[in-house]
Structure 1
Amino acid sequence: MDGRLARGEQTRRSILRRAADIASVEGLDGLTIGRLATDLALSKSSVFAHFGSKEDLQLAAIAHAEDVFRDLVIRPALKAPDGLPRLTAMCEHWLDYSRSRAFPGGCFFAGVIAEFDAREGRVHDAVRHGREKWIDLLTGLAHKAVTLGHLPPDTDPAQIAFELDALARAGNMEAVLTGSDAAYDRAIRGIRARLGVDPE
């Protein structure tokens, strides 16, 4: 990659990082070419060259947030032993990702789901698709835990996924709203209790 292309890619990454940070606090509707240009000391034309429309910018911000989530939550958790340890690790890494403020508004997706759940269009579809992938991942991990005998044979993996996700999202919401990490601790205790894991 020559210098000009490398600089262009670096600029694009900087724009997406800032866009995702803004969206985690103010929502995807808070993103504008002008706002990003001002924040990053770029020309509007420079930002526009990377993203031809607000919707394209929103979709790219979602894709960037998914990359961050994959790096901070999914990949580390997949290093845990299969079955219940991996399922527990996935939830714990999710809470750590929010607690560490990888995005200033906590979990990026918690906000944008609420923002776009009742809308139609490409952004809604991207948010829904990401959500479905996450729930499918948790469901698959729960199913594996059942197969390995880590959870009772009559366990409904989809129900487990729903409950674990609900606990994690509640922890994120309460912690971001109150500024207290106690909500994360309560969430992980609830998750461990639901899975029958030592609360440590």
Structure 2
Amino acid sequence: MSKGEQTKQEIVERALALAGEVGLEGLSLGVLAAGMSLSKSGLFAHFRSKEALQLEVLQRAIDHFIEDVVAPALREPRGEPRLRRLFDLHLQWIHGNGRRGSCFFMALTHEYDDRPGPVRDLLVQSQRDWYDTVSRVVRAAVEEGHLRADLDTDQFAYEFVGIGMVFQQSAKLLENPRAEERARAAFETLLSRSRP
């Protein structure tokens, strides 16, 4: 990796950490440059626009999510073991998993829900991919005979993702000490309703 590419990667990681606090729209090239001892023009040379930086930051967050949640879960045996691992890793991601204090994508959902453009488009695609991933894992559990053959896998994915959203709100905003216990109970109820 060239020095320029290494610097760009460091900028993206720093911007991701900053965006976790101020959102993507709150990213300031000046503040970011000063925090990295770069000139604003030096930082601008890597990205050409704030939107280009935002897209790189969002893509990096997507890559981290795949590395931390999706890829390890897909290494588990097909069926319920994989589904359980996906759920566990998703809760860990929301807890922060060493990257930040809550789910970056849930925060961006509120920031970009009615703001059109390339950043929103990438966010929407990433969330569709997440729902599709959950649905595929659920379909595999159906194929393995762990879940009912007539199960609506898209509905299961909807509820699975919803449990994560409520967990984040309960754990982070409301500081409910039983948030994880309740999320796990909701997941077990969802599984129980879905078994043959």
1:31 Cα deviation (Å)?
A: 0.8
Whole-angstrom CA distance in 1 between matches of 2:182 and 2:17: 26
Structure 1 unaligned runs (5+)?
Answer: none
CA deviations 1:157-176 (Å, max 9, x no partner) are: 00000000000121122222
Whole-angstrom CA distance in 2 between matches of 1:106 and 1:37: 25
1:100 Cα deviation (Å)?
A: 3.3
Amino acid at match of 1:87: L
Whole-angstrom CA distance in 1 between matches of 2:24 and 2:96: 21
1:25 Cα deviation (Å)?
A: 2.6
2:160 to 150, 160, 164: 164
1:134 to 123, 127, 130: 130
Task: Establish whether residue 15 from structure 1 lines up as the match of residue 30 from structure 2.
Answer: no
Task: Establish whether residue 60 from structure 1 lines up as the match of residue 26 from structure 2.
Answer: no
Whole-angstrom CA distance in 1 between matches of 2:38 and 2:176: 36
Task: Establish whether residue 40 from structure 1 lines up as the match of residue 36 from structure 2.
Answer: yes
Residue matched to 1:73: 69
Relative to 1, partners in 2 of residues 1:194 and 1:75: Cα closer, same or farther, differing over 3 Å? same
Q: Secondary structure at the match of 2:11?
A: helix
1:145 to 141, 145, 149: 141
Relative to 1, partners in 2 of residues 1:181 and 1:155: Cα closer, same or farther, differing over 3 Å? same
CA contact (8 A) 1:142 1:157 kept: yes
With a CA cutoff of 8 Å and minimum separation of 6, indicate the structure with the bigger relative contact order.
1
1:132 Cα deviation (Å)?
A: 0.5
CA-based RMSD: 1.7
Whole-angstrom CA distance in 2 between matches of 1:80 and 1:181: 29
Alignment length (residue pairs)? 193
Matches within 5 A, 1:64-143: 64-143=60-139
CA deviations 1:15-74 (Å, max 9, x no partner) are: 111211222232111112111112222221221111110110110000000111111101
Whole-angstrom CA distance in 1 between matches of 2:43 and 2:96: 28
Residue matched to 1:51: 47
Moved more, 183-192 or 48-57: 183-192
Relative to 1, partners in 2 of residues 1:171 and 1:101: Cα closer, same or farther, differing over 3 Å? same
Q: Give the TM-score taking structure 2 as reference length.
A: 0.91
Q: Identity, % of aligned pairs? A: 37
Relative to 1, partners in 2 of residues 1:155 and 1:20: Cα closer, same or farther, differing over 3 Å? same
Q: Give the TM-score taking structure 1 as reference length.
A: 0.89
